[in-house]
Amino acid sequence: MRDIEARVKRVVSEVLNIPADEISTNARFVEDLHAESIQSIELVAGFEAEFDVEMDEDEALACKTLGDAVTFIGKHLNK
């Protein structure tokens, strides 16, 4: 899971222009990282590209924290 978390942080860092070392596992995308609606869509697209998976957009957007995204992506990779 650490590898997944590092890769998720890298995508979040690139999309939101925040240094990866400033992003915690408990960081909330909207409240803490100030992601706007369009950026949320860009994050989903970035995760799909990074992990070479297709995700249900509504389920992916339901992830509120970085940790939620790591868990969600981990489940997709284990299918």
Task: Give the structural domain span for 47.
Answer: 2-77
State pLDDT tens for residues 21-49. 999 999 999 999 999 999 999 999 999 99
CB 64 within 8 A of CB 28: yes
Q: Give the count of domains, the chain.
A: 1
What radius of gyration, in Å, describes the C-alpha atoms of the chain?
Answer: 11
pLDDT recorded at residue 2:
85
39-47 long-range contacts, Cβ below 8 Å, gap at least 24? 39/15, 42/15, 43/11, 43/12, 43/15, 43/16, 43/69, 46/11, 46/14, 46/15, 47/8, 47/11, 47/73
Give the global pTM. Answer: 0.91
* CATH assignment at residue 20: 1.10.1200.10
State pLDDT tens for residues 43-73. 999 999 999 999 998 999 999 999 999 999 9
Predicted confidence band at 78 (pLDDT cuts at 50, 70, 90)? confident
